[in-house]
Structure 1
């Protein structure tokens, strides 16, 4: 699963959740946007916040709400639970389970 922050309509940055059925990874991919734009768009969308230039905290409930209705994998819920458990075991899940720490990567084609 990828949360992308890319330049959208009217050259305004927007956040979108893509690769919804691939829960083997969860990353934030930034297109040609500034760090400030990425931080503002993430917070405005409710999907999370930037922690630093290479790390973001994604809101687990908001991410699931954005992705699950569009998921097509029959076992998506089980895969989601496995992804969250993996994040917990790797120390990337907040103590309250509300956010998942992810790496920031460049968006494909950006």
Structure 2
């Protein structure tokens, strides 16, 4: 699963959740947007916040709400639960389980 912040309609940055059935990975991909634009769009969408150029914190409930309605896998919820459990074992999940720490990557070419 990828959360993208890319230039959308009318050249305005937008956040979107893509590859919702691929729960073997989770990261934030930034397109041709400034760091400030990316931070504002991500927060405005309620999906999370950027800590620095390499790390972001995504809102688990908002991510689930954005992805689940578009999921097509019959075991999607179980796969989601495994992904979140794995994040917890790696220390990527906040203590309260509300946010997950992810890597920030370039979405160039995506």
- TM-score norm. by structure 1 comes to 0.98
Check if 1:3 corresponds to 2:31: no
Two-structure CA RMSD over aligned residues (Å) = 0.8
What residue ranges of structure 2 are gaps of 5+ in the alignment?
Answer: none
| Cα deviation digits, residues 46-66 of structure 1 (max 9, x gap) | 000001111000000000000
- TM-score norm. by structure 2 comes to 0.98
Judge conservation of contact 2:32–2:108 (CA < 8 Å) in 1.
no
Q: Which runs of 4+ in 1 moved over 4 A?
A: none
What residue ranges of structure 1 are gaps of 5+ in the alignment?
Answer: none
Task: Return the offset for 1:108.
Answer: 4.5
The secondary structure found in structure 1 opposite 2:51 is strand
Alignment of 1:17-96 (within 5 A): 17-96=17-96
| Cα deviation digits, residues 24-65 of structure 1 (max 9, x gap) | 010000000010000000000000000111100000000000
Task: Return the offset for 1:7.
Answer: 0.1
